[in-house]
Amino acid sequence: MKKKGFLLAILGGVVAVAVALMLVWNKPHKTVEGEEGIHISAEALAAAFENDEEQANATYLSKVLVVDGTITELTKNQNGKTVLLLGVENPLSGIQCTMKDEDASYNVGQQVSVKGFCNGYTLVVLLNDCIEAK
């Protein structure tokens, strides 16, 4: 009789773990469209990371940002996505924005407001899943 209760407890535990994993796996992903975002200029964002990367990570990392700036470079990444570089005073820095919409057209020198997730800092601040903010 004790064996049967033990097996039922094990089976119940396995079912509970399976249900929890299924719920986590199917959890809806956060999107930039559904978020307000922290509004900041490209210059201020780059300066925040250049001056104190640890503090900037605490403030901006994995958050939705709305960044205003001027496009200084346009490229495509290996997935065919448009990548905008918003220039700042330091020519070795900037804000790199990987856009969601492959069909949108941009021009160097164009003023834009871009909304995306902050992924941290290399030599530039990285934003992904970006859309043009309205």
* pLDDT tens track for 82-116: 999 999 999 999 999 999 987 778 999 999 999 99
- Are the CB atoms for 30 and 70 separated by under 8 Å? no
Q: Is it the case that residue 2 has pLDDT exceeding 80?
A: no
Average pLDDT across the chain, whole number: 88
What architecture is domain 32-132? Answer: Beta Barrel (2.40)
What's the average model confidence in pLDDT over 56-75?
96
What is the 3 state secondary structure string of 78-130?
CCCCEEEEECCCCCCCCEEEEECCCCCCCCCCCEEEEEEEEEEECCCEEEEEE
For range 29-38, the mean pLDDT: 83
SS (H, E, C) 25-80: HCCCCCCHHHCCCEEEEHHHHHHHHHHCHHHHHHHHCCCEEEEEEEEEEEEECCCC
For residue 114, the number of C-alpha atoms closer than 13 Å in the C-beta half-sphere is 31
Quick one: pLDDT at residue 122?
92
pTM: 0.77
- Rounded to whole angstroms, the Cα distance separating 29 from 16 reads 23
For residue 28, pLDDT over 70 is answered with: no
**pLDDT in the model for residue 4:** 73
Q: Is the pLDDT of residue 1 over 90?
A: no
